[in-house]
Structure 1
Amino acid sequence: MIEISVDEKEAKKLILKKISELVEAVDAEYVFWDTKELKKRTCMSWNAILDTFFHDPRFIKRKIGRKWYFPARETRAFLEQWILEQ
């Protein structure tokens, strides 16, 4: 019979580290988000985005043609700060 002992705190720390690395890797794939990705990442409708933070001067956005684009890293940082302020 084989017996295995696992330090739960250490296992949790390793799991959280790996998850963080994977999230960073996924985020690194995107240079910018479009409106569809912004809605997906925030779990908000377009109208909710317009009514809450879209017009905040700190929120970086560019309209190219008929589409809005948002720099991925800066948008994520803004959203993290914005939600803490609410």
Structure 2
Amino acid sequence: MISVQLDEREIEQRFLAELRKRLDHIEQRRTLWDMKELCKQTCMSENNIKEKFFYDERFPKRKIGGKWYFPAVATESFLLSWIEEQPNN
């Protein structure tokens, strides 16, 4: 006969940790980013963004009214490609 013992507290802690991780991921996903969110997602200042990649023709952006918007998925994809292109110093 096989006997299995489960530590309910451990199961609950693991469940809550995984739930927290997934909720954080969902919370971070937005359809569009504005400049403030782009700065937050890249950990870069607006000036640094404009200096490094904002004017790259591949960078997805759209100005609506007086505000820039960036499609989140396409922007993330661009950023991952862009960072790989940067030299290691």
Identity of aligned residues (%): 51
Tell me which structure has the larger Cα radius of gyration. Answer: 2
1:82 is the counterpart of 2:75:
no
Q: Deviations over 1:39-85 (max 9, x none)?
A: 00001111100000001111010001110000000000000110011
CA RMSD of aligned residues (A): 2.1
CA distance in 2, matches of 1:61, 1:36: 14
Q: Deviations over 1:9-65 (max 9, x none)?
A: xxxxxx89x95x55652344x110000000000011111000000011110100011
Partner of 1:36: 36
The 3-state SS of whatever aligns with 1:44 is: coil
The 3-state SS of whatever aligns with 1:63 is: strand
Give the TM-score normalised by the residue count of structure 1: 0.70
Partner of 1:70: 70
Q: Where do 5+ consecutive residues of structure 2 fail to align?
A: 8-16
The number of equivalent residue pairs is 71
Partner of 2:51: 51
The 3-state SS of whatever aligns with 1:60 is: coil
